[in-house]
Structures are given as structure tokens and as C-alpha cells.
Structure 1
């Protein structure tokens, strides 16, 4: 098992995992051999990446579960209050395990606090000191389980996202408080699930709001553990949506607009996505038309991108059509608990359900692409910023065209690229020579370079306009030099700046190190107490916290170049 390089940081080297990984690689090869030659060629050469190839035509990607529609209420009727509470969380674990082996991607609870509050009332659970303690214990046990269980394919923890912050009733508020308090006070071994705090004026953001205390608690938790991240409903990117009906995956996938009905996330998911390698297109244009001016190269880039995007559209459609050939019986958890917004066994079959999902055209490496085309960092000049925005506007217009022409939920995704951030430049080095390739990774989506030197507010100002364009999901991060434990105000200022600049989804990153010999926490290469070098390092990758030693090659290279957007001084100020 030594020397195995997995595709993401959540995987571990177990016997079952190695067997699964070997099978996965074989299936991917078989799928690529069977696909139309143009699909396979673009993937193999590195123009695109077809994600989750082993699941091609076998399942969809991710889902924001509607846990209330098919909840087994009758089964709970004879239970005591205590048994009902523990039974709810047994049910949650059961859903995660079954769904985690029925789909390829993440599992979302779009309103974790509100749904638990509803279940308390519907199941007639008394709100007492005893039931509250049982609820707190169950929440803590669920969090522990999310960190310990590597039951998916024998090697991976489940990608679970809990959206909270809007429940204003006593029970719902208690759920959010118990979850945040436990996560904040737990050790660095507790880094899952991803908690998303929904920020909304009139509910929790303003000092006079009923849930403002929970917002402050969330910020304190972020200061210590980087979690929660923040879904900003007063930003321009989200202001039109009902926060009660919208949740997001910790990885950034966003499913809201729907050509077949109500704009909502609950009971909907992403069918799948394909990411386009922007730097490779730029490198090819530069090689063929290097003597032309920047505007002409940008025009040719758009043409080349649109041509590749047309193939990506066809790949997503082919994958979807193959999926429709399956039976509802291939999705027993979804069928039994009615987790989508429509029933799998309805008269219209799978299409009546899965058409509500999204088909995402992703992109990575906007920063490197503009640098190749213009010879400058896009975030450093007004011209660079305008060209970058112009390119993404063009992408969105093309993808919106697919949506209108086909009456399907096509979206533009700002890809995270955990695996492909290293795969793409490795392939590009075989064909091209350029400084952007030599650093061994490409920058996520539309993000500025990780060593940009911009301050937090400058970074959000630059990245903010891209959020409204990337309707399939996106996130902006601010990097701190260390945990801002005594500086919650700095995080609140960053959140407000995100709202002001139109950021849809926001996260805060900083190094989290722990000495395995004496348990000292901080940011260091060598333990300041015992001078030991056995250091447990937690960093964020693709939206989730993971142990740095398990990062992919490309992400390790990126982490090595990350520089803070804000440096925290000893007294906590920026």
C-alpha cells in the first residue's frame, strides 16, 4: 500500500480502500475506452476533466436532502422522548451511509436546525432539561461519527454539510448552539462535518436580531477551527433567494435556479460536472498567435473555449441519458425516504426527478490563463480584471444558452480542483513551456493567486464580481497567518466585506498545527515547547478540513505558496 497517491485528501490507505481504488482505476479506463473518441481525447490530453468517471452513467453527484418528506414518522410513534431523539440521529447516520454509497458526492442537510426543530414538534417530544441533554449528546455523537467513520468504500469519511443559523425557535436555536459549542471546544481531531452558517439581516446578522448571539458564536468557532463557513444572503449573489429554501455544499456546489419549478436547493442536487482547463487553452492560443495583441488572443481564447464547452455539454447530456436508463430500484435510499423533491417511482420515472438536478460546466485556472494571454496577473491591473470578468461573463452567457436551448439546468461552476489542480499542469508541461506551469498547480476557479499579497478586503473586492456569474457554485477565502482566536471582530469585518462585494459563500483559512508529543497548538514547524517535529497539520482543501500529509501533490504545492491576506499580531489585531 506504500506509495499510493489517492485523488483526494479524505482517502486513507486501507486494504479495502486499495482494492476499491484498483477497481476504480480499471473502471475509469474502461469508461474512457467506451466513450466517443472526442470525449476521451479531451480528457486524456488535459483540456477537460470528467469528474467521477467510475460513476459515469451509474449515479449522480450530490444532494441537499429533503429529510422531512419521507421521514418514517409512524415508526417513532411508540417511542419515548429519549428514544425518539436517539432514533432521529440513528436515522441521519443511516441516510448518510446509504446515500454515501448510492451517489458519488456530498450529502447536504439544507436546514439542520430547522428540520430538527420541526421533528421535535411533529414527534411530540417534550422540550425539557432531559431531552435537551439527550439532544446535545446526540449532536456530539453525530459529529464524532462524521470524523471517525471511514465506511464509504472502506477508506473515506462522508462529505457531510450542515446548514444552520435560521431557526429562531427554542429547540432550533439550541441545536445550533450545541453544534457550534461542541465543534469549537473539540480537539483538532474533530474537523468534520462542514458547518455552513446562513447569514441574513433580520435573523442573525444585525446586533438586534434574535439569532445574533448564534452568529457571534459561529464567528468564535471559526476563529478557532476555520468552521463554519458563511452563506451570505444579503450579498448581491443571493439576495433574490429565500434562505429557508437554499443550502450549499461545503465544497461550494450550489443548486438553486430551476427551469422546471421553484428556485430551491432542498430535494435537489448536482447530476455531475466537467471542468475545463483554462490555462491550457490560453497556452495553445499563445503558442499559435503569440505575436498578436492581447485583445485578439482573448477573442481566440473565447472561440476555443466555446468549442470545448460544446463537447462538455454533450458529455453531460450523454451521462444524463445513460443515467435515465437505470431503474428507481438502483436508488433504494432515495426511493424509500423520498430525499429528492419528486418521487423516483412516479409515473415519469427517473427523468421526473433527476431533471431537477444541475449540469455544471466548471473552470479552473482563470488567473494563469489571463497571465498567459496578457503577460500580467489579472488582479494587479484594471485591464487584467476587466479581461478576467469578460471571459467569465462569456462563459456564463454560453452556459445560459445551453439552459435556454435545451430547457435543462445547466450552470457555470467555479471548480475547486483538488485533484485536477495538479493533474492539469502535469499534462500541460508535456506540451508547453511557460512559468505558470512550473509551480505544479493551477489556482482554483477565479481565485487570485494564493501569494497575491492582497489584503482581505482587496481580495474580496477583486473576487466578488465573479460570484454572481458562477451560479453553479463558488467560494472566496481569506487567509490569516494564524488562528484569530482573540479577534472575532476581524472575521465579522471580513464577512461584512464579503456581503458588500457580492460574495456568495465565504471561508476563512489559517494554519492549524498540533504537536503530537505534547499537544501544543499553534502555527509552527518545530514545537515551541518540546522542540518535537511530529506535527499534525490541518489545512483546508476543496472546502473541507483535512490532514496536510494526505493532500494531493498539486494541493501540497499550493499550500506551500499560500501567504496570508492578513497577519495577526500578538494582541489579536490585524
Structure 2
């Protein structure tokens, strides 16, 4: 191999990419991430830095066999532009601990807040600070429990003030203190949501990718926080816009909030009402066997999710909890290409085994690179106790031992198209194809469990949330194998184990088909149902769908439906073309849609693969 020629060729490709960024000629390159404004100065600079850093990682940090597999369109290590920095992907942040003990962002110590407004202001600052230490999402796994003490402090402050007033002895002091506290909680939640949608502190001028989990705190304070958060979400932003962040995840649990006699059932109903208006919250099912196995009666043992699907629970190197842990890195496999290369099913599994072994090797190599980084390289993440077990480390110490509590994940794209290549049908079309699909994903999970035993690392399987990659894999395969019906004839491969979005299947059947795959994908999973119109007037239907998910092994689910708003007059409803109220044309209509798991209000920012996918989604009645 002529290494100098290879590097020169790669350098030419990088130069070409940089030219395309500058002149805006390649929209898909600029809009790999729909939340980045690629034409803004920071977006352009960030994209140029990203392409350069990715080139460096591929040419200088990846092993030759991994590079070859990438060239062959078989695998892709995600977030290569952050490889050289050694940072990790994401973290479930222990908000309660940071608020209680205080923290330092590098410019001074933040002491414990004394009311809910200050607490939620600091919660925003924590997310903003940590987003600069990691390239993925940030989440609060116990938003209700962690903030309840500051609702209590707010109530007590009002009680102290009211006690100084010359009031009639019959005046209900407690009721007034709670009324004032409730007002403060609403305002604090409203400010937190506005902050989440306006802190452009992430690479490329994005706001941080924020998730919050809640639903199971039955205290007066926790319930007040959740109710006001949901009401503030319903109200929207300053002109009624639907908040893109935080991604809200309502934790469903029988005995707590799922039945009429449960103490938080009213909060569950309010969550249904809110998702009918604003697409959030999504729903996590704590009674699913693979989530329930971790529950020991404490809030810290409740399963939680992050962003579009990430889940971190099992841990062979410490406590089985999400708190202070996250994913280190993940790599996705192109199942479609494997199937196209295979002579038969047996050949497919042999090739899959070889690719899984290579992926595990690559993940371990990346971990070794990360492990040699020092605490001082990630001062907030490590020195402020965000990452589990990091507080006691000295600035110059390596991260090897504490990073072992994180996860390394293999993901996959295109199960549906791979099944068509192998059998002629995908798993929504026949039981035989579904059984083979389950066998394939079960095999991958088994191999990751074996890798955990062999390496002592948390090796996991994730249902990949591909955005740009779903189109990249497809275009390369079509160039080699041609346009094959049901395989390469669209601009995208179907994400992970999903039934293809264009396949006409009943909502309930889709849930039943996808349910068993959730347990196998222990690093993250999600199932969507796409409705054919506004859900605002039909929360009963949403309730039925959520209960169907709970009954069929879904760990994490959400419901998609049109959320449209006229920018001119503010009219909210499903708007087919022009605004029916003021007549504003279609280009004045804000259309909020979900892409891979998060929301985007301008579909012009989507890459061509994801625009094609959205346009072909079958809507369920």
C-alpha cells in the first residue's frame, strides 16, 4: 500500500469538501445535522473544523482494517470529528448532587440555590457548561426528584415573608404560600424552556441537546414541578412556537401514574394532553422487564433515556444506575450491504460475525485513546463530579478507570432492507422475515454480551439513530449494486429495526412487530407511531397507543403527528397548505416534525435522505 498516495488522495477529498462548504454547493454535507444552520458563520466554521478533524481521525487514528471497512461501506464510527479530542458522547447528569454541593464552571463557584428560580437557572448553566465537554446529549434522569427540594425552599421563603405581614388570624397562610410558590415554579419552568431553546453554546451555533426524565415523584413539591413544567410546555415559546428542547421523557409506572387510582395519574393525563399539543413528552416504560430488573425502590434505580433513544443502565464495573454515566462512543454497521454481499443467510451470519469482531476492536481502540486523557482535559465533566467516580481524581490523572463505567455500543442500520435482500420481504411483510430479523438482532446482542465478558467493558447494542448516515450508506451501495426494489431504490435505509416508514401497517401491528427488539437493544431503542392528523382533540387515542406500547415490550416510545403554526397570525393546527385563518402561503407555516428523535421546525434544514423519509411516512388513523 502506498501510504503517501492514500493520504494525498484523502487530502484532496478534504479540500473538495471544504470548497463545498464555502460555496454551499453540497446541501447534504451542510445539513447532516438538521439543528445546525450551516450557512451561519459559526455553522460554516464548525463544519470546516468538523470535516478537517474527521479527516485527521480517519487517516491518523483509525486502524487500517477499520479504514478499509469504512471504505467498503460496512461500518461507520460515529462522531469522528470528536475522536481526536478524546471526549465521550453523553452523560446522565446528577443534577441534585451538583445543586446541593455547588459547582464551578471555571470562573467562580456556584453555591446551592435557595429557591426554584435559581435552581432552574443553574440547571441551564450546568447543561451549557457540560455541553462543551461532550459531543452528544446531556440529560437529567431525575428532574422531578432533584428539583423538589427547591420547590419546598420556595414555599418556606413565602411562609417566612407572609409571617411578617399584619394579617387576620383566619388568613390561610399555607394556602397563600403554596399559591405563590406555584406561580414561581411556573415562571422558573418557563424560563428553563426558553433557555433550552436559546443557549447557542453547542458546536455550529446549536443549542445543547437536552433531555429531562420525570413522572414518578409523588411528593407535593415534585407534582407541582411536573404540572407547571407541562403547562409551560403547552404554552410554548414567546410567539407560541413549539419548544424543540428539552426532549421530555415521562416515566410510566403502574402503581405511580398509569392507573386512575395511582397518585400521579392526573400528571400522566396532563402529559398526554401536552404531547398532543407539542409532541413532547415521550414515554419511557419502567415496567418493561428489562427496565424493571434494575428497580430497587429508589429513584436512582429507575431506568431513564436520553435524547432520541440512548439508554445506559447495566454496569459490570460499578453500580447499575444511569446517574453520572453515559455512552463513550458507538459504531454502526451497514446490514444492507452485508446482505447484498452474502450468498445466503449462513454466509450473512459469517460476515456479520467478522464485522462485529472488527467493531468491538475499533471501540476498544477508541476507548484506549480516551482512557489516556487526563481529568484536566475535561475540567467540568470530571472535576465537578458530573461523571461517576471522578471527584477524587487529581487533575493530571488518566480517565481509564472512571470511563469503564460508561458504555461502548455497536449499532445497526437497515434491518428491513437487509431482510428484503436475504428473503424478498421485510419483517413487516412476513412472519418468516420477522423471525430472521429477530434472530439477527439477537445474535448481535449475544455477541456484545460475550464481548462484555471477554473485555470487562460495558459492551452494548444500540438501535442506531442515523440522520446523515442513513443516506450515505444508501448512495454508496446503489452506486455499486444498482437500484434494487425494496433495498436501494430510496434515498435512505430504514433506521435500526423499524418497519419501513412507507409500509402501510396498522399502528398496533407496528408496535407488536417492533416490541421484542427493544429488549435486545440494551443501549437504546425507540418506537414511533405516525398519526394522520392533529392529536389535540383525541388524547383518548394517545392513551390507547401508550397502553399498547406498555403491553408489548416497548421500552421507549413516542407519537408523531403534525404540529403546524402560522408565523403570521399564530394559528395552531394541522395546516395542509396555506393558513386557513389569514391566508398566509405555505412558506410562512412552521411545521414541527420529528427527525430520528428530536424536533425540527424547518424541514429545509433536513438532508435529502431525511426529507425523502418524512415525505413517505405512512400516517396511521
TM-score relative to the length of structure 2 = 0.85
* Alignment pair present for 1:171 and 2:221: yes
* Alignment pair present for 1:96 and 2:151: no
Deviation, 1:344, is 5.0
Q: Is the 8 A contact 1:95 1:333 kept in 2?
A: no
Residue in 1 that maps onto 2:328 = 271
Seen in structure 2, the aligned counterparts of structure 1 residues 33 and 209 have a Cα distance that, compared at 3 Å, is: same
Q: Write the distance in 2 (CA, Å) between the matches of 1:466 and 1:558.
A: 22
Residue in 1 that maps onto 2:514 = 463
Q: Write the distance in 2 (CA, Å) between the matches of 1:126 and 1:208.
A: 33
Deviation, 1:22, is 0.3
- Identify the range of structure 1 (194-203 vs 253-262) with the bigger mean alpha-carbon deviation: 253-262
Residue in 2 that maps onto 1:396 = 445
* Alignment pair present for 1:447 and 2:498: yes
Q: Write the distance in 2 (CA, Å) between the matches of 1:276 and 1:397.
A: 16
Deviation, 1:83, is 5.9
Deviation, 1:317, is 0.6
Deviation, 1:551, is 1.2
Q: Write the distance in 2 (CA, Å) between the matches of 1:196 and 1:158.
A: 16
Residue in 2 that maps onto 1:17 = 43
* Alignment pair present for 1:544 and 2:569: no
Query: Mapping of 1:28-177 within 5 angstroms?
Result: 28-34=54-60, 35-57=62-84, 58-71=86-99, 73=101, 84-120=115-151, 126=157, 128=177, 129-177=179-227
Residue in 2 that maps onto 1:352 = 401
Residue number among 306, 327, 333 corresponding to 2:374 in the alignment:
327
Q: Write the distance in 2 (CA, Å) between the matches of 1:106 and 1:473.
A: 13
Residue in 1 that maps onto 2:17 = none
Q: Write the distance in 2 (CA, Å) between the matches of 1:332 and 1:125.
A: 35
Deviation, 1:456, is 1.2
Deviation, 1:513, is 2.2
Deviation, 1:51, is 0.6
Q: Write the distance in 2 (CA, Å) between the matches of 1:154 and 1:458.
A: 40
Q: Is the 8 A contact 2:89 2:327 kept in 1?
A: yes
SS at match of 1:167: coil
Select the structure of larger CA radius of gyration: 2
Q: Is the 8 A contact 1:276 1:363 kept in 2?
A: yes
* Alignment pair present for 1:27 and 2:48: no
Let me know the Cα RMSD of the aligned residues: 2.2
What's the CA shift string for 1:88-142, capped at 9, x where partnerless?
A: 2232122111111110100000011110013455899547333332222111111
Q: Aligned pairs, how many? A: 555
Q: Write the distance in 1 (CA, Å) between the matches of 2:436 and 2:111.
A: 62
What's the CA shift string for 1:348-400, capped at 9, x where partnerless?
A: 74122110000000001100100110011221111111111111111111111
Seen in structure 2, the aligned counterparts of structure 1 residues 130 and 154 have a Cα distance that, compared at 3 Å, is: farther
Q: Write the distance in 1 (CA, Å) between the matches of 2:317 and 2:565.
A: 49
Return the structure number with greater relative CO, CA threshold 8 A, min gap 6. 1
Query: Mapping of 1:174-193 within 5 angstroms?
Result: 174-186=224-236, 187-193=240-246
Q: Is the 8 A contact 2:151 2:225 kept in 1?
A: no
- Identify the range of structure 1 (454-463 vs 427-436) with the bigger mean alpha-carbon deviation: 427-436
Query: Mapping of 1:480-499 within 5 angstroms?
Result: 480-499=531-550
Residue in 1 that maps onto 2:612 = 557
Deviation, 1:342, is 0.8
SS at match of 2:367: helix
Q: Is the 8 A contact 1:278 1:366 kept in 2?
A: yes
SS at match of 2:197: helix
Query: Mapping of 1:459-538 within 5 angstroms?
Result: 459-521=510-572, 522-529=574-581, 530=583, 532-534=585-587, 535-538=589-592
Q: Is the 8 A contact 1:344 1:350 kept in 2?
A: no
What's the CA shift string for 1:328-356, capped at 9, x where partnerless?
A: 01111123421122125437741221100
- Identify the range of structure 1 (520-529 vs 3-12) with the bigger mean alpha-carbon deviation: 520-529
What's the CA shift string for 1:257-279, capped at 9, x where partnerless?
A: 00012221111100010010111
Q: Write the distance in 2 (CA, Å) between the matches of 1:116 and 1:338.
A: 18
